[in-house]
């Protein structure tokens, strides 16, 4: 009898209890939550910037009120907002209005596009960006200043390869920068010269700073415009959070202005150059690290260059350039000192490493710094981790290092990587499957502008590993494919873990921030080969719809 009375009392109390306030936003559709406790759902309710309910559509429909905004996604898929761990974000905003050389398939097309772009700009205007790829050209020649001189006599030109690790200047840019046959080589870089010793116009890695130093710095207004373009573009691709690596000092003010104006439509984690770690530590001490919208997380360094520029650092020589094994962009002793200093200041340290030796050296440094300074939640990250010795794959997980990787690079580099390093070394290249199986956390990204800022293309790349030239329909190094669920996790929860934000980011569950992406199809219901055809229907950040298709 007492049990019946207790149940009746609870039912009466529930009936008399006031109805919960209506949600500000309700989303209906097939939901991939990323939450292992409840992997799927039919609807989500949001109040303010926070998810308050996740359940079936009938259950959540009770929270729809007169003022509730409703998004019905039909047969599409709803996921946590995509995050991109590795971008050069405002550079992307500038590139959106610069010359586009990425898909120029011949030197002639490369030159034609620069000529056409120069014709739209006043004389004296610098032409930068570009993102050319000489691997697309017959015979893969590197560009030369002579190619540009005849079509840009009045414009200094310094356009970079898409990996950002080499660029080509015309004669006017070289002259303005004071680069000539007598200019000494730069540590951590290379001035490419012809047989007579004259610069060809190509400068690799640290040597590029000689010309970049002559390029006028953008004004605050130009930076604000570039950020606004980048934000709008990111929202259209479902990107709700980014890691901005190698941010400029001026970028902090640019993002702060956007946040103050209410125009910041994604969450940004900023990483400044490693050599500036003292300034970063002092700035955090003075103004704080930030909040869920804008944070100064740490510093970003470089071990080596890139595979495409033959400056990635390996133990063995390149097959197609046997005179080199790559280079240290930063001397090893300097890396050790600066990583140690930044870690002692409590900053997160993320470091670019591409070649096998670069990754091995970096893991050694991370291990020694952690041992010297004692245990803490430091979340060291390797940016790229592209080419690994088998023995180093397990070390990443054992050391608690996060692998910040870019799937699109695999299907791009896969067109030509084997000619550089051979069949044996590519077996552990972009080793997504092996790293996950070892227990490592993967945080996926794009390296925009090096690759497109589009997580959907990254998902397709990680799951299929089909190279851009169509020559590997079964996947390039197919043993390293991962599942769609694993790839989504690397773009959501893995990214949150990479910045210590997993308590509120990267999953759809009550209490998490309402960062959501609505896709036009259920990726789990279509062939893997068509994942890349999906489109973003809407993007929600902090409970606010920031993009609608």
Q: What is the pLDDT of residues 410-464, one digit of tens each?
A: 999 999 999 999 999 999 999 999 999 999 999 999 999 999 999 999 999 999 9
> Cα angle at 27 between 26 and 29, to 5 degrees?
150
> Cα angle at 485 between 481 and 487, to 5 degrees?
55
More confident residue, 3 or 185: 185
Instruction: Look at phi and psi of residue 505 and say left if phi exceeds 0, alpha if psi is from -120 to 50, else beta.
Output: beta
Average pLDDT, the chain: 95
d(CA 68, CA 329): 54
pLDDT tens digits, one per residue of 71-98: 999 999 999 999 999 999 999 999 999 9
d(CA 278, CA 412): 37
Contact 76, 522 (CB under 8 A): yes
Verify cis geometry, omega within 30 degrees of 0, for the bond prior to 491: no
CA distances from 372 to 353, 360, 366, 369, 379 (A): 22, 19, 10, 5, 16
Token couple for 237: 């691709």
User: What percent of the chain stands above pLDDT 90?
Assistant: 96
4 has pLDDT over 50: no
d(CA 92, CA 378): 29
pLDDT tens digits, one per residue of 153-164: 999 999 999 999
Confidence of residue 466 (pLDDT cuts 50, 70, 90): very high
What's the mean pLDDT in 63-75?
Answer: 97
d(CA 214, CA 237): 34
> Exposure of 102 by Cβ count < 10 A (0-12 exposed, 13-18 middle, 19+ buried)?
middle
Euclidean distance between the first and the last CA atom of the chain, given in angstroms as a whole number:
59
pLDDT score for 41: 98
pLDDT score for 499: 98
175-181 contacts: CB < 8 A, separation 24 or more? 176/214, 177/210, 177/211, 177/213, 177/214, 178/210, 178/214, 179/203, 179/210, 179/211
pLDDT score for 515: 99
Q: Report which of 157, 160, 150, 143 is spatially closest to residue 199, judged by C-alpha positions.
A: 143
Confidence of residue 20 (pLDDT cuts 50, 70, 90): confident
pLDDT score for 13: 39
Q: Report which of 353, 328, 329 is spatially closest to residue 404, judged by C-alpha positions.
A: 353
* Number of neighbouring beta carbons within 10 Å of residue 458: 29
Question: E strands, 266-422, where?
Answer: 267-273, 294-302, 348-353, 381-384, 402-405
Cβ burial 9-41 (10 Å sphere, 16+ → b, else e)? eeeeeeeeeeeeeebbbbbbbbbbbbbeeeeeb
pLDDT score for 2: 42
Sheet with 69-80, strands from edge to edge, namely 50-55, 40-47, 25-32, 69-80, 516-519, 536-541, 544-548
Contact 29, 42 (CB under 8 A): yes
Contact 455, 494 (CB under 8 A): no
> Which residues are CB-neighbours of 336 under 8 A, at least 6 positions away?
365, 368, 369
Contact 389, 428 (CB under 8 A): yes
pLDDT score for 18: 63
Q: Report which of 470, 471, 476, 466 is spatially closest to residue 528, judged by C-alpha positions.
A: 466
Complete domains list, the chain, with CATH: 1-80+507-549 (2.30.40.10), 90-212 (3.10.310.70), 219-506 (3.20.20.140)
Report pTM: 0.92
pLDDT score for 215: 96
Orientation of helix 356-373 relative to helix 390-398, angle to 10°: 30
Contact 134, 143 (CB under 8 A): yes
The DSSP output letter for 33 is -
pLDDT score for 1: 39
> Which residues are CB-neighbours of 186 under 8 A, at least 6 positions away?
206, 207, 209, 210
pLDDT tens digits, one per residue of 283-338: 999 999 999 999 999 999 999 999 999 999 999 999 999 999 999 999 999 999 99
- Report how far Cα 403 is from the mean position of its chain's Cα atoms: 12
What's the mean pLDDT in 472-501?
Answer: 98
Strands 25-32 and 40-47, by their bridges, are: antiparallel
pLDDT tens digits, one per residue of 350-409: 999 999 999 999 999 999 999 999 999 999 999 999 999 999 999 999 999 999 999 999
DSSP line for 38-98: S-EEEEEEEETTEEEEEE-HHHHHTT--TT-EEEEEEEEEEEEPEEEEEE-HHHHHHHTTS
7 has pLDDT over 50: no
Confidence of residue 207 (pLDDT cuts 50, 70, 90): very high
The DSSP output letter for 435 is H
The DSSP output letter for 451 is S
Confidence of residue 17 (pLDDT cuts 50, 70, 90): very low
340 has pLDDT over 80: yes
d(CA 497, CA 442): 9
d(CA 27, CA 123): 52
């Amino acid at each position: 009898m007492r049990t019946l009375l207790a149940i009746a009392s609870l039912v009466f109390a529930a009936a008399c209890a006031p109805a919960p306030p209506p949600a500000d936003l309700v989303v209906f559709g097939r939901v991939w939550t990323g939450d292992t406790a409840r992997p799927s759902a039919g609807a989500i309710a949001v109040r303010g910037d926070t998810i308050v309910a996740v359940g079936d559509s009938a259950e959540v429909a009770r929270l729809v009120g007169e003022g509730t905004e409703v998004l019905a996604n039909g047969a599409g898929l709803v996921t946590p907002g995509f995050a991109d761990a590795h971008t050069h974000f405002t550079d992307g905003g500038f590139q959106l209005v610069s010359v586009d050389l990425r898909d120029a398939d011949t030197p002639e097309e490369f030159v034609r596009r620069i000529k056409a772009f120069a014709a739209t700009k006043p004389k004296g205007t610098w032409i930068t960006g570009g993102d050319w790829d000489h691997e697309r050209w017959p015979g893969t020649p590197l560009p030369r200043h002579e190619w540009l001189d005849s079509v840009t006599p009045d414009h200094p030109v310094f356009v970079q390869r898409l990996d950002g690790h080499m660029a080509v200047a015309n004669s006017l840019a070289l002259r303005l920068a004071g680069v000539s046959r007598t200019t000494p080589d730069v540590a951590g870089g290379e001035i490419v010269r012809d047989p007579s010793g004259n610069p060809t116009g190509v400068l690799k890695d640290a040597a590029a700073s000689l010309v970049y130093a002559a390029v006028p710095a953008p004004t605050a207004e130009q930076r604000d415009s570039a950020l606004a373009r980048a934000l709008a573009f990111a929202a259209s691709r479902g990107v709700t959070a980014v890691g901005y690596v190698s941010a400029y000092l001026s970028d902090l003010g640019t993002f702060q202005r956007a946040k103050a104006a209410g125009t910041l439509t994604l969450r940004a984690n900023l990483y400044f150059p490693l050599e500036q770690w003292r300034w970063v530590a002092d700035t955090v001490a003075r103004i704080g690290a930030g909040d869920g919208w804008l944070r100064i997380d740490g510093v970003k360094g470089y071990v080596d260059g890139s595979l495409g520029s033959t400056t990635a650092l390996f133990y063995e020589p390149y097959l197609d350039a046997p005179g080199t094994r790559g280079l240290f962009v930063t001397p090893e002793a300097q890396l050790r000192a600066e990583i140690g200093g930044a870690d002692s200041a409590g900053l997160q340290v993320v470091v670019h490493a591409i070649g096998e030796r670069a990754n091995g050296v970096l893991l050694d440094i991370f291990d020694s710094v952690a041992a010297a300074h004692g245990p803490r939640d430091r979340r060291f990250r390797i940016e790229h981790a592209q080419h690994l010795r088998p023995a180093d794959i397990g070390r990443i997980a054992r050391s608690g290092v996060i692998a910040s990787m870019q799937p699109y690079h695999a299907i791009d580099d896969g067109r030509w990587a084997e000619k550089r390093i051979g069949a044996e070394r590519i077996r552990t290249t972009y080793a997504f499957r092996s790293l996950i199986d070892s227990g490592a956390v993967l945080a996926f990204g794009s390296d925009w502008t090096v690759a497109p800022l589009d997580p959907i293309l990254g998902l397709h790349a990680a799951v299929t590993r089909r190279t851009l030239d169509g020559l590997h329909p079964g996947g390039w190094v197919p043993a390293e494919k991962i599942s769609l669920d694993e790839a989504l996790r690397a773009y959501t929860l893995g990214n949150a873990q990479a910045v210590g934000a997993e308590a509120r980011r990267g999953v759809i569950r009550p209490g998490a921030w309402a960062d959501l992406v609505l896709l036009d199809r259920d990726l789990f219901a279509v062939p893997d080969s068509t994942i890349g055809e999906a489109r973003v229907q809407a993007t929600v950040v902090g409970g606010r719809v920031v993009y609608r298709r």
